[in-house]
Amino acid sequence: MARKFTVYDPAEDLTSAEAIAIFLTEAFRTEDAGYIAHALGVVARAKGMAEIASHTGLSRVQLYRSFSSAGNPRLKTILAVMSALGVELSAHPPARRSQKTQRQIRRAT
């Protein structure tokens, strides 16, 4: 008997501010810019892309394009969307830096 699989959409489970914060925190921990952008797009869809568009002044098409798998959102767009989502970006020393981050810091200094 063939099994039927359904596509899981994480946006369906992001129903609280706490769930959104945890989801985005885990995305930022990956240190993968593409995944972080994708996660922001998922949260924007969970909140409603039209609502996010009206808060940011960007069109829904721009938002979908920016946060698609081929998108590359600008920092200004990311900050505007995060503000519309009611979350903020903050910096603090990491408890433990990944090897990748340590190499990047060494190269930058």
Extents of the domains making up the chain: 15-89
For residues 30-34, give the mean pLDDT: 87
Predicted confidence band of residue 61 (pLDDT cuts 50, 70, 90): very high
The per-residue pLDDT of the chain, averaged, comes to 86
Q: Name the residue among 48, 71, 69 with its Cα closest to residue 60.
A: 48
For domain 15-89, give the CATH number.
Answer: 1.10.260
pLDDT per residue over 78-94, tens digit each?
999 999 998 888 887 76
| Model pLDDT, residue 109 | 60
pLDDT score recorded for residue 62: 92
Region 46-73 average pLDDT = 91
Q: Quick one: 109 exposed, middle or buried, by C-beta within 10 A (0-12, 13-18, 19+)?
A: exposed
Residue 58 near residue 80, CB atoms below 8 Å: yes
